Amino acid sequence: MSWKEMSLTFLFGLACRAPRSRLECSFQRPLVLVLSLFLGLAVSILCQEPAPNLAALKAQASSGDAEAQYLLGVFHFTGRGAPEDKGQAVAWFRKAAEQGHAKGQYWLGRMFATGQSVSQDSAEAIKWYRKAAEQGLVEAQVSAGEICLLGGQGVNQDFGEAAKWFRKAAEQGDAAGECKLGVLYLGGRGVPQDDAEAVKWIRRSAEQGYLNAQFLLGTIYGEGRGVPKDLVEAARWFRKAADQGDRDAQVNLGGLYGQGLGVPRDYTEAAKWYRKAAEQGDQNAQSFLGFHFANGLGVPQDQTEAVKWYRKAAEQGQVSAQFSLGLAFANGLGVPVDGPEAVKWFRQAAGQGHVKSQYYLGSMYHKGEGVQRDLVEALKLFRTAAVQGSPDAALKLGQVHAAGEGVPQDYAEAAKWYLQAAMRGVVEAQFSLGTLYEKGLGVNQDLVSAYVWYSVASAHDQRAKEQAEKLATQMSPAQLEQARPKIAEIQARLRR
């Protein structure tokens, strides 16, 4: 399980469906974003100082001045101080790189890594990154580590070398290097697994404001990995990352506020953070925000707005949102009742293994709502959901087998499914199981067992209470005494 998944599981008791792994993201930092970082630095410098005379710079570069060659490459790459021409940028970076200019080597490696005006070539990229990294250029050390970690395109995956380069960058105080080294320690890749060492490096990075590290440190405190579990600290670090716009941290912070974990429970704050992440396209946040609007948690109750956010999440494949959207169409919540549309969304969620959607889709087939009635398909879906623990589906299977609806009447099979539902607290199944034992249908007639199940159901069902009282008049004191510990045992199991 990824750290992203673990953090969501810890917060919400659910697993994200095909979520992006934050640990992997910490390595697979988009190359264009990294380019933008250094490009921004270059542009900033150019904006602060008058651009040099281009002709003079070209003359210097042509005479073999490596710094001038590198700068000319930057100017052509950025289009500031010279016409934008990525091909010329590559040519000048190469000239500088071949003279041992570290930044020229780094930028040439970056051009190969991103395939700008050259064929993308990881082997060529890491060749130049290594040359620059060996001269101590920190951004080259980080980039070399990333390629070693991921491998591919003629580069063998090598966790040990990745750790070497990340450590060199980290020891220079580079936040990205610190974070990535810490992640390697978390997973024991290229270094011995060591949670304490991982926390040390990730904390150093987080304290420099490195977003990924702040998110990971929040997750680490939430899980108690390498540090005592501390939800207050988890919330603090998630907030730092969330304030920088990190949508994963915004989702987690919303979850903490929604449940009052590490912060006071505050549905308004929860909805605020979910909205921030939802507006960035996070499917889980969109689903949670839809839930808040559907139930008026921290926002005015608005079923139409709930459907809007459920749809956004559902169209991205978020399974809970698909189920909720199916319910909305089935019940006319925020949209007109539309059986076929409800079936469509239940089907999509059921196809991802969502148990409640399997049950509801089965019910649509059973009733012929939004789809042609098909008892065979309904039973198939009920069974699929029941074997995964759905008490509603188990009850339905008990009922159809008892009635012989779409299947031969089979009280023994009905009793099996009623028992599964009854042990999950379904009162109707408890009552039905009592009836089967009282009449000896599919089971040996047993007044004690019948009395037990009527008594268990009687707390919520007047019929069951009346049946238990009636049956008690037909039972001996010994039978009643035999029933009492069985009732207590079932009630205790149901309370767990």
Return d(Cα 307, Cα 317) in angstroms, integer: 15
Q: How many domains would you assign to the chain?
A: 1
Query: pLDDT tens, 194-252?
Result: 999 999 999 999 999 999 999 999 999 999 999 999 999 999 999 999 999 999 999 99
In a domain, 139, yes or no: yes
Q: Which tokens is 256 given? A: 């903490």
User: Domain span at residue 98?
Assistant: 1-229
Three-class SS state of 302: coil
Three-class SS state of 388: coil
In a domain, 54, yes or no: yes
pLDDT reading at 379 higher than 50: yes
Tell me what percent of the chain is helix, strand and coil, each rounded to the nearest 5.
70, 0, 30
Give just the sign of the alpha carbon dihedral 205, 207, 211, 215.
Answer: positive
In a domain, 239, yes or no: no
Q: Name the pLDDT band for 14 (thresholds 50, 70, 90).
A: very low
In a domain, 129, yes or no: yes
pLDDT reading at 40 higher than 70: no
User: DSSP assignment, residue 297?
Assistant: S
Backbone angles phi, psi at 152, to 5 degrees: 100, 160
Q: Name the pLDDT band for 51 (thresholds 50, 70, 90).
A: low
CB 140 within 8 A of CB 129: yes
Mean pLDDT (whole number) for 310-317: 98
Tell me which residue of 367, 295, 293 sits closest to 330, measured CA to CA: 367
CB 307 within 8 A of CB 277: no
Q: What does each C-alpha distance from 178 to 22, 144, 186, 262 come to in angstroms? A: 16, 14, 12, 27
* Residue 40 CB-density burial (10 A; 0-12 exposed, 13-18 middle, 19+ buried): exposed
Give the pLDDT confidence score for residue 436 in this predicted structure. 98
pLDDT, averaged across the chain:
91
pLDDT above 90 covers a percentage of the chain that reads 88
Tell me which residue of 265, 257, 260 sits closest to 239, measured CA to CA: 257
In a domain, 392, yes or no: no
DSSP H helical segments within 208-266, as ranges?
211-223, 231-243, 247-259
CATH classification of the domain holding 133:
1.25.40.10
In a domain, 324, yes or no: no
Give pTM, 2 decimals: 0.83
Beta carbons within 8 Å of 375's beta carbon, 6+ residues apart: 365, 366, 400, 405, 406
In a domain, 237, yes or no: no
**Of the listed ranges 22-26, 90-94, 208-212, 259-263, the one predicted with least confidence:** 22-26
Give the pLDDT confidence score for residue 52 in this predicted structure. 59
CB 286 within 8 A of CB 295: no
In a domain, 417, yes or no: no
Return d(Cα 496, Cα 493) in angstroms, integer: 5
Q: What does each C-alpha distance from 3 to 15, 20, 24 come to in angstroms? A: 11, 10, 9
Backbone angles phi, psi at 389, to 5 degrees: 105, 10
Specify the long-range contacts of residues 343-351, CB closer than 8 Å, at least 24 apart.
343/369, 343/370, 343/371, 345/314, 346/322, 348/314, 348/317, 348/322, 349/319, 349/320, 349/322, 349/323, 350/381
Backbone angles phi, psi at 156, to 5 degrees: -75, 140
Return d(Cα 308, Cα 202) in angstroms, integer: 38
Three-class SS state of 152: strand
Query: pLDDT tens, 395-446?
Result: 999 999 999 998 999 999 999 999 999 999 999 999 999 999 999 999 999 9
